[in-house]
Amino acid sequence: MTEISEQPSSFAENPQKENIIEVDGQSYIQLDDSYELDKPYQPRRKYAEKTVRGVVVGRGDNKKVVPVEEVRKLAALHCSYKDMSTYFGVAEGTFRDHFRGEVERAREKIKHRLLESMIENAITRMHPTMQIWLSKQWMGMGDNIENIKTDTVLPWLTEEDDLLSD
């Protein structure tokens, strides 16, 4: 269905009357099945060949060329070995044997970039939520206040409060 706003010349030239439907105060033209769009639904495709530079994996008919840069990108997204091997059409064990170093390096690089941005947010931008989270993770600070020496709750809780919590 199309909304009526300004009718193009093709509607004025067409002697057939289209069905006009009104929905929620808007008028729409209902076109019959023989109406064709100006553009085809699927555009013409152009096929070409390209050379891929990468690591040759597999033997015989199962040989595949796996681009190392694509492996690094997928590893940076923390895709699993199974997902990456399926994407490239290679057995998981074979993929793991050939690209373990690249995958681990890319994952570590992302972890370091994330850590750098967290520290920048906490220190440079003075983001309090990030400061609190980092202090809990790195310095062992937390919300629960406990006496470390005896592992008992500090004395400001009374015995009545302790009995009520049970």
Domain ranges of the chain: 1-35, 55-113
* The two structure tokens encoding residue 163: 């009995």
- Other C-beta atoms within 10 Å of 65: how many? 13
Q: What percent of the chain has pLDDT over 90?
A: 44
Lowest mean pLDDT among 14-23, 73-82, 98-107: 14-23
Lowest mean pLDDT among 26-35, 64-73, 84-93: 26-35
Estimate the crossing angle of helix 81-88 against helix 92-123, to 10 degrees.
120
Rounded mean pLDDT, 89-113: 96
Q: In the structure, what pLDDT confidence band is assigned to residue 103 with cuts at 50, 70 and 90?
A: very high
Length of the chain: 166
Kindly report, residue by residue over 88-99, the tens digit of the pLDDT.
999 999 999 999
CA dihedral for 38, 42, 45, 51, sign (positive or negative): positive
Q: Is the pLDDT of residue 15 over 50?
A: no
What is the pTM (predicted TM-score) of this model?
0.55
pLDDT at 125: 92
